């Protein structure tokens, strides 16, 4: 939020408190962090100025815990959608994705991905912000770490972020969000655990099947609720 918002001071105080609390949390680990995971809603209304605030705070956080900003991994939330970018054609698309038969959602999204700039236009400021961390959505509406984070005993953690907000607008609610199956499909690998970051849980999806676990995702972190 910007400085003119009545909640801006309260939110700034919360962010400052987090910075004070985090060293104590880190002290209970071996002192080494691998990544910062954010499951959406980095902004309030998807505006560039809001991401300037987020960037400044996250840079402070990275400096505090000894991470580079490329270790911030994220997915978009509904507050990362700039509703001012939802012109009439886009509102019609969103309505169609909410109302078409659930078995056609994947195909309709595939059609829209022929023009990804149109589909992702309401997330333009978020995409620019997320690109700094290589977390901007591509034509799969998702991203994935190039290499798993390696742990002991030969195990690795593969992390992917996926969008649940491609048709987000003022009509959001349970059973309204178009989530494409392709966003969740992972390649099973020996010794690799798959983590998926998403904003909305399955109760918000047009079609909650297949579930992420059915597509070999071992861990899913949701942010909306």
pTM of structure: 0.92
> How do residues 131-186 score in pLDDT, each as one tens digit?
999 999 887 799 999 899 988 788 999 999 999 999 999 999 999 999 999 999 99
- Could you tell me the two tokens for 161? 């972020």
Instruction: Determine if the peptide bond prior to 210 is cis (ω within 30°).
Output: yes
Cα gap 34→145, rounded to integer Å: 13
Who contacts 201 (Cβ-Cβ below 8 Å, separation ≥6)? 222, 224, 225
In three-state secondary structure terms, 197 is: strand
Q: What mean pLDDT is predicted for residues 75-85?
A: 96
pLDDT exceeds cutoff 70 at 58: yes
> How do residues 96-126 score in pLDDT, each as one tens digit?
999 999 999 999 999 999 999 999 999 999 9
- Best CA proximity match to 97, nearest among 84, 113, 79, 73: 113
CB atoms within 10 A of CB 127: 17
The model's confidence at residue 9, banded by pLDDT at 50, 70 and 90, is confident
- Could you tell me the two tokens for 3? 């400085």
Cα gap 103→108, rounded to integer Å: 10
Cα gap 216→195, rounded to integer Å: 9
The model's confidence at residue 207, banded by pLDDT at 50, 70 and 90, is very high
Cα gap 127→130, rounded to integer Å: 5
Cα gap 141→92, rounded to integer Å: 20
Cα gap 224→206, rounded to integer Å: 16
Who contacts 63 (Cβ-Cβ below 8 Å, separation ≥6)? none
């Amino acid at each position: 939020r910007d400085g003119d918002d009545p909640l801006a001071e309260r939110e700034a105080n919360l962010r400052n408190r987090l910075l004070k609390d985090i060293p104590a949390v880190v002290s209970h680990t071996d002192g080494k962090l691998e990544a910062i995971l954010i499951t959406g809603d980095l902004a309030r209304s998807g505006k560039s100025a809001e991401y300037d605030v987020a960037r400044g705070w996250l840079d402070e956080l990275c400096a505090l815990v000894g991470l580079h900003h490329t270790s911030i991994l994220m997915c978009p939330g509904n507050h990362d959608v700039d509703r001012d970018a939802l012109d009439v054609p886009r509102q019609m698309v969103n309505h169609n994705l909410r109302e078409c038969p659930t078995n056609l959602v994947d195909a309709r999204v595939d059609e829209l991905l022929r023009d990804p700039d149109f589909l992702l236009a309401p997330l333009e400021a978020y995409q620019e912000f997320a690109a700094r961390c290589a977390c901007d959505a591509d034509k799969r509406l998702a991203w994935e770490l190039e290499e798993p984070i390696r742990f002991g005993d030969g195990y690795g953690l593969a992390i992917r972020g996926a969008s649940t907000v491609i048709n987000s607008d003022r009509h959001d609610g349970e059973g309204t969000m178009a989530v494409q199956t392709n966003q969740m499909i992972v390649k099973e690998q020996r010794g690799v655990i798959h983590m998926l970051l998403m904003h909305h849980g399955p109760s918000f999806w047009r079609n909650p099947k297949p579930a992420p676990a059915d597509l070999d995702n071992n861990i899913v972190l949701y942010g909306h609720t």
